[in-house]
Structure 1
């Protein structure tokens, strides 16, 4: 059974707080919602969380100060900021205080979930979890995520970093749709027109690398995303 991650959401906007709590709950997270900084501190003292999501503009204390107080209670708790501020200096301040991510409002709920999952996969380890797959079978190819290598019947094929990351994401979801948004926010950290054009170029490169096995194709699914399709022998 998949672990249910516990999130602390500190957001004073009632409408947004309710929306995010409900949406994240639907996505399988256990969400504790605090409506001000002081309540967030109390909940940090009385609960164990995997990630804190902090609004920067809070009525009683800004999110930057709150993050430092939380660190005195639980130094290991990772946090990300939500903010309507767009100034670069605010973004840099957030990261300098130890934030693992920084999302600007209005929040795209789907993008938030993708980012949370990516962060927790990277940051949270469970000693009882099964070891993650390190070699993905893609037809006659082997993709090894331990040594960042793609091989065809034992013959190594050189990939760039982005090509490797993209192929790994597709291989993890073999024969399933991976949306443009999920790919772009996971690998490029930004879902925009220019990165989407780059994505198409990298997909073309991967198609060439995988052309030695006719059972493999990377399918463009109705302009929604891509699927790594591997036909049965």
Structure 2
């Protein structure tokens, strides 16, 4: 069985699509391309990909719409959004729709490859301080990190891939304060991360799923001047 990472590029600009494909294939990845949003969504459904590079400004269907459909279908494939838009609100929207990363054009090849490698590395199963198939109890949730699954009582709770990664990072550093920069570096995998506000947005979502009362958090605490701390007995 071929274990080479399989990447889908959804990009309507021919020179950009060809350049990305050539460079990624040179690095040893298997690559497919789609030239508009609708074709990209169809390929995403039909294929088994390890990563999707998704432009935002696409004909037929925007990258935002494609990302929303991917996550709405329960597909956990990592998504890196590509866009000439550089405003913080655009980055936040992409990440909140379920993208794992966001690159603003023009970007350097080395930066793209570093992001690709970081995302692919993060989605590989890693130890969470428990055996790979062990469930851990975090607040209201019972979590199995290796399967990216969480339950409250007997009901499975839908969480994004990024929410699992952040929660796993907090679990690995439980009862220790971690800074927003540590979270951005440890979860997004590089120092120049989107925005510390992104961390705060994800923490709000996690509190709503873990805490008995998200307005009065007892597990994911804000450590003023530093960041956050996951408190477990």
Give the TM-score range, shorter chain: 0.5 to 0.7
Residue correspondence of structure 1 range 111-122 to structure 2 within 5 A: 111-122=111-122
Contact preservation (8 Å) 2:53, 2:79? yes
Partner of 1:188: 191
Question: Shift of the alpha carbon at 1:124?
Answer: 2.9
CA distance in 2, matches of 1:2, 1:73: 26
Contact preservation (8 Å) 2:56, 2:81? yes
Q: 3-state SS of the aligned residue for 2:57?
A: coil
Count of residues in correspondence between the two structures: 142
Q: Structure 1's 186 and 75: CA in aligned 2 closer, same or farther, altered over 3 A?
A: closer
The answer to whether the aligner puts 1:87 opposite 2:90 as a matched pair is: no
Partner of 1:21: 21
| Structure 1 spans left out of the alignment, 5+ residues | 127-146, 149-159, 165-184, 191-233
Question: Shift of the alpha carbon at 1:74?
Answer: 4.9
Cα offsets for 1:159-195 (capped at 9, x unmatched): x99xx9xxxxxxxxxxxxxxxxxxxx954136xxxxx
| Structure 2 spans left out of the alignment, 5+ residues | 127-171, 183-187, 194-233
Q: Structure 1's 86 and 72: CA in aligned 2 closer, same or farther, altered over 3 A?
A: same
Aligned Cα root-mean-square deviation (Å): 3.3
Residue correspondence of structure 1 range 134-173 to structure 2 within 5 A: none
TM superposition score normalised by structure 1 = 0.54
Partner of 1:36: 36
Question: Shift of the alpha carbon at 1:71?
Answer: 2.5
Whose Rg is larger? 1
CA distance in 1, matches of 2:115, 2:87: 21
Q: Which aligned runs of 4 or more in structure 1 are off by greater than 4 angstroms?
A: none
Q: Structure 1's 90 and 30: CA in aligned 2 closer, same or farther, altered over 3 A?
A: same
